[in-house]
Structure 1
């Protein structure tokens, strides 16, 4: 029997064909006095947001931005970020949001690839775009001598006059460009249309309705397509967007405060972030003010579902879908079942069809595993400037859907009798580290550009929160192997975001091959796991008796002479304690003063373990944000000294 999922509840053709600019203007004209955005102490009404957005759109048009162009958004999470995203859309362009914390090389490379007409940023960041050369290794990407860089202050001088929607405007015009890791060493960008995004917002509103009484938190990083849902969904529903402070999207204390004090009713958490949130907060603390929580990005475990349900009356929905299909394609409301053993990703959402096919493109038998193909209005237009990759992943002329386009997800699933899907893993090399999609091939190609590297291979090992990346490099003739790992790490840090820098880099004389001459990745994964275990065993065990004696001696010394000046000792000891704890938690034999916690394999769970351990050993009230904001040994240690001397800042 054919295995197919198809939505029976599709929105009307009229609704699917609407554009976001038309829908937002209609919504804003109804209730200009409602609060639209809350950020810190700033409250922006619908009317005020409308004027700022239209001023930005006018500024872009005055500087030559036209329909079909692209505009780069380079802001921290803020009111200005939201205004820039919407302003680009009202100017007829598609926005491409680039993370402000990404390495400059990666930002410039994305700008070169995107070839925007303009950049929207602030005065502090505008110099990053003063010189954007072409890409010598990508012939179709040229320099951008006419690139316009506009700041908030410049946009504010233009009149907030809406322009009529163009006669040739289409629901299939691009509205967003979402960059993800690419297997060739070049990030790939999905082009999302108005039709696709309107379809997804309609689906969300149909099953998880919001209105003027609701507030949704915006805290997702701008390189993840869920930021589109966090902005457009509440604004179109008449709800309020509450913005988390820049740099604090991992800070459970900050997020809990927003949920409690700002009346958040709807929030999306990545699976790892939801886990950290519950682990960090007081187990007795409840979140009954929340009405609905969405989660996804990684495999959701039944135990986490039960723990969430024990802390909140809110519904918990597991959503799944690659960015190439716009936010999500399936959804499953997790039942409040104490005997739950498997969390599903659900059936198709409205306006979406799912096919489970074998390697020949034939539907599998009922209940059998196969690769998931996704069709419907949410499918992206393709990859920007990547026709060959677009043809490979966005397939047409399949027998199961001869008149449609299907996205080949690379995910293995099987269908349950009720139509809900069970996620089984990846069919290709793509991996997820802390919920972020990573192509090891991109890291490999980047590593090969490093001085002294002849070959490189990158694999992932471990599972769940312990999954990490390991790189194996073969040196060029005459290159000293001892110095290569550190130089490669430093080079990768300049080209890649921290989550893509392998936690381990090992030099090998040659890469292993399978009997048929292909790279033996399975053996490399075994090597990586073994090296990780050996590194963990090499970390010196703490002598707890000696620690107790030392503590007793210290207390006795303090009692004997309360005037003793120990500031110098504290300065020396804090850094050594931090290094020791990092080695224990990260399972590495040594760390340097300038090493970044997250570059070494740290994640949200390890942040919690480090802070809890240091609270005990240093006897200090250390907030989680201290490590999140100061992730190097030297800077984190300096922050701890300040906290121990003056207490944590509010």
Structure 2
């Protein structure tokens, strides 16, 4: 039997496990400590408390009560942080939606979580002017919230103010991709999040001398750690500029100029950061770095250790278990050959079971089941899916040692235990994949593709590994539909319904989908076909060139056709045959590593000082080309 357990949490009151009570105690004890820095804006804990309680008062005045949900729709900013905390102090759970997500996906997520209110900025308010089925939806901006005065009823941190306040109240709603075509939303409780913050603080302690960057996208649960952990520890949250979470130069500037001591990087982001910066540059000001979201390779660990004295910790855990459930501090071992995900953190119980629900022997492969304080309450409005993935002890008749009151999340991840209970991650047991650290259900993309005009069937597979993992879609057209124009029309339709990371980099029309001998879709064959197509060189393209007899110093050579050069380089790097003016680099399969290759190539061909941020901020071919023309004329801006 393989059981991996960590100490249970101490007996305590609900107030000990409510974020509002804990934050109020911290703010009242240290009101002058810096709390948030964002560009030129800085708030002390006392100033943050005032703004948060005004927002909570505004929500309470508009009917928000315990158990309600509040959508947060802000760019990354001080206002975003205030909105998240204000919703929590009003007694609600916040659901943060990315401002760059397609309008249809935003609308669908709003309808799915049925919020009582939306907190947003003035420029985005019209997005919520008419939400079907939610005619009484309250939409408030930060300017409107600032006009409300805090009242005792708005301060939910004092549990005595409202007798029904519980540590098991939901505090956050985290949307992830769903296999049925509908995103699923995990409900995270105060108790779960407090447990995780305490686990982080136990092993990676922060205090008022520390600063942590908030740059993770709001749809990934690590943004909860980047906000609540430093604020509860008395440390300072340093907010990265909107749209620059991929920009290694910007993050390096923050690390240096703001005295950052603690940061979380997704694995791909850490890879890009080290590739982009000067190899001689060191980051010894950092004290501790956490990474996760994707498998971590030994070579990346060695490269990080060679450039920083900071500790590097690999954390693992699905959002259904609140940020993480295992952690492994990477040893400074030049001969490291396997990166593990570590043992269970505190307040966590792990079981590795076989297909019959029986524990496997140490060293044997099995599926990981996660229990303990961090397990989510379930999926919002999805009772059948909740019952399928969140299991009680009665579901484990072959594991009699499971406590009768235990509750587990079935992760779908395959692991095996090393001596001492340290786990090794081996892959997925189901179809869920991760692209650049983001969990994706191919089934959601398939269901969306089937809604596209002219599509009869659709299948989506992932191919490649690590940073080179890509999504590919195969679509069968309706009878009479022209196949040559179908990929582009499907791509455009998917862009209106799905975020960029879920739009396949390749869309291929096929007469039929292949089946296995038992009549099931042959996904392995499609994966092999997608990998083969990806490896084929892109067809040659006609690119604007100066006439052969044009002198080298004429204006034609001095002022190249920037858009043609951009298109040519994108085709080379992305391995596509053509690029449209409105095509998005990341929709076509671009990632952080390909950004680096494109910019380095263009620096050479255009003989210009092009910052990485240029492509990150202007990802369409037309806008990027226009930005390059501006840079070539005036030079890059800071």
TM-score range, shorter chain: over 0.9
Q: Does 1:625 align with 2:613?
A: yes
2:148 aligned partner: 158
- Secondary structure of the equivalent of 1:23? helix
Q: Count residues with an aligned counterpart.
A: 622
SS in 2 for 1:499: helix
8 Å CA contact 1:3, 1:364 repeated in 2 = no
Cα distance in structure 2, aligned partners of 1:2 and 1:77: 42
- 1:561 and 1:185 map into 2 onto residues whose CA distance is 57
**Which residue matches 1:258?**
254
Residue 585 of structure 1 aligns with which residue? 573
Deviations 1:550-600 (A, max 9, x none): xxxx99999999999966766662111111111111111221111110000
How far did residue 533 of structure 1 move? 1.6
Cα separation, 1, equivalents of 2:229 and 2:300: 26
Q: Deviations over 1:92-125 (max 9, x none)?
A: 0000000000000000000000100000001100
Q: CA deviation at 1:2?
A: 3.5
User: Counterparts of 1:278 and 1:231 in 2: how far apart (Å)?
Assistant: 25
Change (3 A) 1:556 1:475: closer
- 1:211 aligned counterpart, secondary structure: coil
Structure 1: any 5+ residue segments left out of the alignment? 135-143, 543-553
- Contact map agreement 2:544 2:564 (CA 8 A) in 1: no
Q: Residues of 1 paired with 2:494 and 2:335: CA distance?
A: 45
- Is the 1:316–1:334 contact (alpha carbons within 8 Å) kept by the matching residues of 2? yes
Q: Tell me the SS of whatever aligns to 1:95.
A: strand
Q: CA deviation at 1:402?
A: 3.3
Deviation larger for 555-564 or 606-615: 555-564
Q: Report deviation, 1:131.
A: 0.7
How far, CA to CA, are the matches of 2:555 and 2:144 in structure 1? 49
Aligned residues of 1:597 and 1:632 also touching (Cα < 8 A): yes
1:4 Cα deviation (Å)?
A: 3.3
Q: Report if aligned partners of 1:212, 1:239 keep a CA contact under 8 Å in 2.
A: yes
CA distance in 2, matches of 1:570, 1:444: 47
Contact 1:3 1:415 in 2 (8 A): no
Aligned to 1:445: 447
1:514 to 1:555, Cα distance in 2 relative to 1, 3 A: closer
Secondary structure of the residue aligned to 2:501 is helix
Seen in structure 2, the aligned counterparts of structure 1 residues 566 and 98 have a Cα distance that, compared at 3 Å, is: farther
- 5+ residue gaps, structure 2, are 154-160, 392-400
2:481, 2:419 → 1: CA distance?
Answer: 59
1:572–1:350 Cα change, 3 Å: same
Structure 1 residue 408, shift from structure 2 partner: 0.2
Give the Cα separation in 2 of the matches to 1:87 and 1:413.
Answer: 39
Q: Deviations over 1:457-480 (max 9, x none)?
A: 000001111110000011111111
The Cα offsets for residues 71-90 of structure 1, whole Å up to 9 and x where unpaired, read as: 00000000000000000000
CA distance in 2, matches of 1:563, 1:149: 62
The aligned residue for residue 140 of structure 1 is none
Deviation at 1:319, TM superposition (A): 0.2
Deviation at 1:401, TM superposition (A): 4.1
Q: Structure 1 pair 637/556, CA: closer, same or farther in 2 (3 Å)? A: closer
Give the Cα–Cα distance (whole angstroms) in 2 for the partners of residues 87 and 566 of structure 1. Answer: 61
Q: Partner of 2:577: helix, strand, or coil?
A: coil
Determine if contact 1:10/1:351 at 8 Å carries over to the other structure: no
Kept in 2, the 8 Å contact 1:11–1:350? The answer is no
Aligned to 1:178: 174
Distance 1:567 1:87, change over 3 A: farther
- The answer to whether the Cα contact below 8 Å between 2:51 and 2:146 also exists between their aligned partners in 1 is yes
CA contact (8 A) 1:2 1:366 kept: yes
Residue among 350, 356, 361 paired with 2:357: 361
- Offset of residue 328 of structure 1: 0.3
- Alignment check: 8 A CA contact 2:540 2:577 kept: no
Matched residue of 1:477: which SS? coil
Tell me how far apart the structure 2 counterparts of residues 570 and 157 of structure 1 sit (CA, whole Å).
56
Change (3 A) 1:343 1:13: farther
Once the two structures are superposed, residues 22-60 of structure 1 have per-residue CA deviations (whole angstroms, 9 ceiling, x without a partner) of 000000000111110000011101111000000000000
The match for 2:559 is 571
**1:489, distance to aligned residue in structure 2 (A):** 0.4
Change (3 A) 1:427 1:563: closer
**1:121–1:556 distance in 2 versus 1, CA, 3 Å:** closer
Helix, strand or coil at the partner of 2:139? strand
Q: Give the alignment partner of residue 305 of structure 2, picking from 301, 305, 309.
A: 309
Q: Tell me how far 1:524 sits from its aligned partner.
A: 0.6
Query: Secondary structure at 1:456's aligned position in 2?
Result: strand
What SS does the corresponding residue of 2:495 show, helix, strand or coil? helix
TM-score, with structure 1 as normaliser: 0.93
* Aligned twin of 1:425: 427
Aligned with residue 145 of structure 1, among 132, 135, 141 = 135
Maintained 8 Å contact 2:119/2:142: yes
Change (3 A) 1:616 1:565: closer
Cα separation, 2, equivalents of 1:363 and 1:567: 73
Contact 1:7 1:348 in 2 (8 A): no
Q: Does the Cα contact within 8 Å between 1:326 and 1:379 map onto a contact in 2?
A: yes
Contact 1:558 1:564 (8 Å CA) reproduced: no
Cα distance in 2 between the residues matched to 1:208 and 1:301: 22
Q: CA deviation at 1:381?
A: 0.2
CA RMSD of aligned residues (A): 2.6
Call closer, same or farther: CA 1:509–1:258 in 2, change over 3 Å: same
> For the structure 1 residues 28 and 452, does the alpha-carbon distance in structure 2 shift closer, same or farther, using more than 3 Å as the test?
same
What is the CA-CA distance between 1:18 and the residue it aligns to? Answer: 2.0
Q: What displacement does 1:191 show?
A: 0.1
Query: In 1, distance between residues paired with 2:194 and 2:544?
Result: 69
Structure 1 residues 464 and 571, CA, compared in 2 at 3 Å: closer, same or farther? same
- Kept in 2, the 8 Å contact 1:571–1:641? The answer is no
Give the secondary structure class of the aligned counterpart of 1:526.
helix
Q: How far is 1:3 from its partner?
A: 3.8
The answer to whether the Cα contact below 8 Å between 1:10 and 1:350 also exists between their aligned partners in 2 is no
Q: What is the alpha-carbon distance in structure 2 between the residues aligned to residue 557 and residue 195 of structure 1?
A: 64
Cα deviation, residue 282, structure 1 = 0.4
Q: Within 1, Cα distance between the matches of 2:227 and 2:110?
A: 23
**Cα distance in 2, alignment partners of residues 133 and 230 from structure 1:** 34
Residue in 1 that maps onto 2:11 = 11
1:126 aligned counterpart, secondary structure: helix
C-alpha distance 416-576 of structure 1, shift in aligned 2 (>3 A): same
3-state SS of 1:56 partner: helix
Aligned partners of 1:567, 1:438: CA distance in 2, in Å? 48
The secondary structure found in structure 2 opposite 1:579 is helix
How many Å apart are 1:530 and its aligned residue? 1.2
1:610-634 CA-to-partner distances (Å, cap 9, x unmatched) read: 0011111111100000000111111
Aligned ranges 1:226-237 → 2 under 5 Å: 226-237=222-233
Q: Displacement of 1:13 after TM fit?
A: 6.8
Change (3 A) 1:294 1:12: farther
CA distance in 1, matches of 2:45, 2:3: 46
1:385-437 per-residue CA deviation (whole Å, 9 max, x = no partner) reads 00000000001xxx734321100000000000121100000000000000000
Distance 2:32 2:280 in 1: 38
